[in-house]
Structure 1
């Protein structure tokens, strides 16, 4: 999200340190270098005032002001800081097919790979072709996928034919001369005689509200309604419509309320962060009614900016057309990508005795600080330094959220064996992690162990690829202060 531009005035006494170095034999050489050093100098002054760990910055005399922005930031920021970043504000969306994929080695051809579709952007060429999460691509046009050429094949721009396959259990053929007394089977990707027409790449806008479903599940032998929300970024809206996606959350809250939803399963596995105002809105929707107007988080800045310290409340006035769901607790699906804003949400909602949060999947990244964007209009760059520490409703720092041992679940591993049979579209009740969440609600997970007599080949993901920059969310990247 764009913030108000900050006008930075260099202190003359400090400026002299730099200017003196550019005079030689009475010749003023400052004009030759001023433009080259201005951006780094601007970044440094921003951080001197606003950076949470400004005491760790090197002195002016010890910095190199001729570096590119990313290199400069990496040289001056605190060694413990893995969250501050720089970015161009001139990003032009790239054309994309609109899908992410992971490469899995072929069981039958040593040099070939199969591409497992992991994410499809709604309204993209990939969706138009009929691709869904869990599909397998075996060939692009007439070529098998090789690691050497997969970028050209799968991240090109022209229309393609996709030769598809399916992950299934097939009999193992005995070696020549061997007698197989007991038939064994193996899971692998095999052709399914299906060819999809992938249109040419184009610019695509992804929606952070990726998928919603209202599911009917059993609790104590009675049917109840459970809301599922796949939410990929805490992004409020677009430049043209700043509240576009927040308004979708408000609408979903009303739909869940009307349906009589008792629990919500919030899928944050692909959520890498976003804006604090979105956290506040979603938290106010999901919390119990008794906590409205109570603190959900605290922000504490450096000693130069104590006037910015703030208490963030569960605030019913921001609900607008939305509603509070008065939930008794929350089920969340998480991964190592889940960081910043989603962690603030989880930590703020969780109260051990009155509002449990059940985490399913894998441990979150662990981020308890927020960044703020400062834009330089002249150079069209922004610096996003860490500006404050975020504390939860108990005024404690959140660390990584780690699921209980029984709920540390892989999307692609079943009973310790690589198995993609439950790698399905988001919102499908049989999708691996959603199935576990439903099982926890119904009391059927974890299941009783049964002996498995089949043989499953270990074909693990070797590389995962994300669609080009057109899918980047403006509000993503940890936790941002608006």
Structure 2
């Protein structure tokens, strides 16, 4: 191995001169430098064997093995690849308040912003304070929110006082001496006399099964039950409890079945991926009973690993304590964040004639490949190269999933109109995208007549995920264990 390293490492001229000084003393000090290249060399060897596009890798002689892992991977991977990644195995969760937000410029103060709460982790300091999605923060302690101090105020760790506001229609204040025959109105965030006590940041657990509800809906004039599931990562469990979150999915399936749920609305807008095993479980819960034991997807590897090619079935054995809901269709809420595992689920379930899927929101990322984790125990780093192409049950692997033509509504607009009155907690029937999904089931969306809509001139300046707010171990596209 030592001789091999001497042969294959390409070293810039100045470094050669520097290192030669050690050899000229008659002492072979190469082992002192081997560790500087060992991690990159290990990554390269893994990719030579397992990488889907291994033919695109540069030769040893064309590489710099003295780079940081992420830089090295970026420089050697294929131009077709935007999914392979490296990660530290020893990553420690960071303390967090447990909420995400978007900044919207204040209508009254040029240099100030209001923070729209977009996500709250149950059980977090934010949830303890009473924050919910759709709330507005106007001040932190006694300070208005500015771009200069935003990081200090909203991404710190100390306990804070949050001065809250509400978005509403208010009369336009007229200047002194100005007269108007009729009162004019505008929409803006105004104080609502609430101050919330935000506890200090701490490490929190963000459960991928974020929210589920059983909702009464009318379909063709008949009362039915619809199950709503906000599922944020295809993560099986924790290190201590490997099946913890999968067991929650199984429990949800039992509750949906007991309630007689006819349709499922699956909210994947924040789902950035996860484990193929979880895709198989959720797919088996949601598919029609007629497709149990039939192909769900196909994985195809590079020509060095054809023996790994596999067919993934809708397998009743993975249900364990869960149940198959025998669904005949699916309503899925997606976004540009939706990638990898959730895309595989949608593609695998979809059958044009027998299992239609109504997608609501915005187009997904378009990932049709899976990565696999390889861990270097010595350095406590992992490399996660793309290892296979994923095809659905009809052996197709189309790219991004585009919302149905009449359902192109996104997180920030409905019919092109910003309406913050519909920016509500997940699971609320009036929340903008869930409301559309329910409307599709009831046949009331798209509306036949345009209603009076509040045309707020607000613009989201910046969207922020607080540190460690969603720390799912199984995210990042589609991963194979």
What TM-score comes out, normalization by structure 1 length? Answer: 0.95
In the other structure, the counterpart of 1:5 is none
Alignment of 1:47 with 2:47, yes or no, is yes
How far 1:415 sits from its partner (Å)?
4.1
How far 1:265 sits from its partner (Å)?
0.1
In the other structure, the counterpart of 1:124 is 124
Deviations 1:235-283 (A, max 9, x none): 0000000000000001111110010000000000000000000000000
Name the SS for the 2:441 alignment partner: helix
Name the SS for the 1:227 alignment partner: strand
In the other structure, the counterpart of 2:263 is 263
Q: In the TM superposition, what are the counterparts of 1:54-203 in structure 2 within 5 Å?
A: 54-203=54-203
How far 1:220 sits from its partner (Å)?
1.1
In the other structure, the counterpart of 2:397 is 397
Q: Which moved more, 1:56-65 or 1:404-413?
A: 404-413
Name the SS for the 2:189 alignment partner: strand
Alignment check: 8 A CA contact 2:99 2:469 kept:
no
CA distance in 2, matches of 1:66, 1:18: 9
In the other structure, the counterpart of 1:472 is 471
What TM-score comes out, normalization by structure 2 length? Answer: 0.95
Deviations 1:322-355 (A, max 9, x none): 0100001000000000000000000000000000
CA distance in 1, matches of 2:474, 2:204: 17
Deviations 1:66-112 (A, max 9, x none): 00000000000011110000000111111111101111100000000
Alignment check: 8 A CA contact 1:98 1:126 kept:
yes
CA distance in 1, matches of 2:306, 2:411: 44
CA distance in 2, matches of 1:348, 1:166: 42
Name the SS for the 1:469 alignment partner: coil
Q: In the TM superposition, what are the counterparts of 1:234-245 in structure 2 within 5 Å?
A: 234-245=234-245
Q: In 2 relative to 1, CA 145–124 (structure 1 residues): closer, same or farther, beyond 3 Å?
A: same
How far 1:448 sits from its partner (Å)?
2.5
Q: In the TM superposition, what are the counterparts of 1:381-460 in structure 2 within 5 Å?
A: 381-450=381-450, 452=452, 456-460=455-459
Alignment check: 8 A CA contact 1:343 1:398 kept:
no
CA distance in 1, matches of 2:434, 2:193: 30
CA distance in 2, matches of 1:415, 1:241: 44
Alignment check: 8 A CA contact 2:409 2:415 kept:
no
How far 1:300 sits from its partner (Å)?
0.4
CA distance in 2, matches of 1:14, 1:449: 72
Q: Where does the alignment leave 5 or more consecutive residues of structure 2 unmatched?
A: none
**Structure 2 residue aligned with 1:18, among 5, 9, 15?**
9
Alignment check: 8 A CA contact 2:10 2:61 kept:
no
CA distance in 2, matches of 1:455, 1:211: 28
CA distance in 2, matches of 1:480, 1:11: 34
Output the aligned Cα RMSD.
Answer: 1.6
Name the SS for the 2:343 alignment partner: helix
In the other structure, the counterpart of 2:31 is 31
Name the SS for the 2:9 alignment partner: helix
Q: Number of matched residues?
A: 472
Name the SS for the 1:81 alignment partner: coil
CA distance in 2, matches of 1:404, 1:327: 19
Name the SS for the 1:421 alignment partner: helix
Q: In 2 relative to 1, CA 88–228 (structure 1 residues): closer, same or farther, beyond 3 Å?
A: same
CA distance in 2, matches of 1:302, 1:15: 30
CA distance in 1, matches of 2:447, 2:369: 38
CA distance in 2, matches of 1:139, 1:17: 59
CA distance in 1, matches of 2:49, 2:137: 51
Q: Which moved more, 1:399-408 or 1:69-78?
A: 399-408
How far 1:172 sits from its partner (Å)?
1.6
In the other structure, the counterpart of 1:7 is none
Alignment check: 8 A CA contact 2:418 2:454 kept:
no
CA distance in 2, matches of 1:115, 1:284: 40
How far 1:47 sits from its partner (Å)?
0.5
Q: Which moved more, 1:406-415 or 1:208-217?
A: 406-415
CA distance in 1, matches of 2:260, 2:49: 49
Q: Which moved more, 1:293-302 or 1:167-176?
A: 167-176
Q: Where does the alignment leave 5 or more consecutive residues of structure 1 unmatched?
A: 1-9
CA distance in 2, matches of 1:459, 1:319: 46
Alignment check: 8 A CA contact 2:166 2:191 kept:
yes
How far 1:411 sits from its partner (Å)?
2.9
CA distance in 2, matches of 1:253, 1:455: 38
